[in-house]
Amino acid sequence: MAVMPMFPLGSVLLPNGVLSLHVFEPRYRALVTDCVAAEHHEFGVVLIDRGSEVGGGDVRRQVGTVARMVQVAEVDDGRFAVIAVGVARMRVREWLVDDPYPLAEIDVWPDLDELPDPHEPPDLDELLGSVTQRTRRAAALAVELGDDAADPSSDIADDLLTASYQLAALAPIGPADVYSLLSAAGPVARLTALAALLDDVEAIQSFRLQSP
């Protein structure tokens, strides 16, 4: 358990993902200053369930990602440009008083290696290959349809855990669905859930392609 500065956002940061922030609110400028001075330069990122990123009063989800600042530049009027990377999944144990910025007691939450059904284990190579192919195709169609989508040619790791997060980031799905994938027990459960989400994505894309 650790007390960690928190940055609630309207999007989901996944482990190994890259986050770019333009920080202008005084409370988050204080957060950046304190994180830069800290040993590991880390803060937590959680999805806002209801409310706004600016001004406070938001309702926050309980699962998020520990982010580590890798580049910080101070710009005009004391604002900061920050680049951070997701380093670990975490769960909020308890929210503390937002003073001077959001704070929470958190636990790092490692992914499980267990299979969803040990009596009928899936072919992991087949699962990863199928979900990778379908996700790339859906991302490419999203680009063709003019959506804000990730690069379908992005590299995908051979490691199942890393790949499960990379494919969750690549898939053309909304923040709530990405959050559900972040919250999956482990990489097999995450890829299985993503395959189910892709059923809906593919159906919607097919309809849009056929529409005049």
Domains of the chain, each with CATH number or no CATH? 2-108 (2.30.130.40), 124-210 (no CATH)
pLDDT of residue 139: 96
Q: What is the pLDDT of residue 115?
A: 63
Q: Establish how many alpha carbons lie within 13 A of residue 193's alpha carbon, considering only the half-sphere containing its beta carbon.
A: 20
DSSP 152: T
Q: What is the mean pLDDT of residues 183-202?
A: 95
pLDDT tens digits, residue range 22-78? Answer: 999 999 999 999 999 999 999 999 998 865 555 555 678 999 999 999 999 998 788
Tokens of residue 30, six digits:
């204080």
Q: How far is CA 173 from CA 55, 107, 133, 148, in A?
A: 27, 27, 16, 10
* CA 125/CA 109 separation, integer angstroms: 25
> Hey, is 173 helix, strand or coil?
coil
User: Tokens 């880390």, residue?
Assistant: 42
**pLDDT value of position 202:** 94
Amino acid at 74: E
pLDDT by residue (tens digit) across 80-139?
999 999 999 999 999 998 889 999 999 999 998 766 566 666 788 899 999 999 999 999
